[in-house]
Amino acid sequence: MTNHLFSSFKMRGMVLDNRIVVSPMAQYSADETGRAKDWHFMHLGNLAISGAGLLILEATAVEPKGRVSPNCLGLWSDNQVPCLKRIVEFARCHSNTKLGIQLAHAGRKASMSAPWQGSKGLLPEESGWDLVSASSLPYPGRPIPQQLDHIEMDKLKQHYMDAAIRADEIGFDLIELHCAHGYLLNTFLSTLSNTRKDKYGGDLQARMRYPLEVFRAIRAVWPEHKPLGVRISATDWVEGGWTIQDSVVFARELSMLGCDYIATSSGGISPNQKIPVHKGYQVPFAEEVRRATDLPSIAVGHIMDGLQAEEILTKGQADLVAIGRGMTYDPRWAWHAAELLKVKVDFPPQYARSSPAMRKLPR
């Protein structure tokens, strides 16, 4: 019987061993200059030997004020390259998992404390900074952000390009551009956060303009053989906001610019969102984008085990499945999925004897 979850998948020159993706997951554990620390080496090294086909690093800021917190990763400086290169080299030595990085800017949701410190907004005198966004509309409960002008937007595009060049130098196989969850590029897309009167605000085509420009700028400097995908919020879950229909239009525009996949998350632009969370609740968005465009889709959100993931792929609802919190709770998620589906997977030789197939009961 055909097994989809553990079949290979090709994007440009990158071939994944299977369809399991480790989602980007913020760790709030970099130093104050945005450099990865030992926690990242442990966290990412562990996930690199998880058996997943692709591991995508957490949202990584392209400039200092693009961080969610003062301890989020950055790639705006050459000084941040060696720490990430060390992690990539370790992963290369011990697994065939491909490695991606998510480039991001937190926009009006930046300058926050870590979740275990209350996720509260930080003022400049509290190690925080002033916020920027598509418009001078604050996220409820946060300071009013500065609306980016055209000069600042051009500088920011260059920051994305510079970060992509550094990502290639480090050795990443893939870039995911973060256009979701109420962060900067997402604020250009949604009517709930974009009230601009220039060419970057108004109708759907205008609101898509800047995220598409950023994507085009990255694609221009990112090697042709390496994939570049986009994570979107497929809907705002707020009446009058961004919809799945808008997402399909956006995905088609991205496809024409050379986008390789769409990861379909949702929400984050407004605390008024009404999200009916349940098992696989975002999978229909991946299915709709896949059906309506020529782009591969990644399904995310409450994908609990290998049987559910296999069903999603078998039904043609997505091309890949991404696991986030489930992977940190069970870093051997892929091994256990293989056991459920009766598929043989590779283990690091140091761990091979932990496989049930290698265990022998005493006589």
Taking the C-alpha atoms of residue 190 and residue 187, their distance in angstroms, rounded to an integer, is: 6
pLDDT, tens digit, for every residue of 18-77? 999 999 999 999 999 999 999 999 999 999 999 999 999 999 999 999 999 999 999 999
Mean pLDDT score of the chain, rounded to an integer?
A: 95
What class has domain 9-358? alpha beta
Q: Where are the alpha helices (DSSP H) in the chain?
A: 38-48, 81-94, 150-170, 184-189, 204-221, 244-256, 283-292, 306-314, 325-329, 333-340
For the chain, give every domain's residue range: 9-358
Catalytic residue among 28, 183, 200, 261: 183
Angle in degrees, CA 80, 84, 90, rounded to 5: 155
Report whether pLDDT(1) > 60: no
pLDDT of residue 2: 67
- Quick check: is 183 catalytic? yes
Taking the C-alpha atoms of residue 34 and residue 13, their distance in angstroms, rounded to an integer, is: 30
Report whether pLDDT(172) > 70: yes
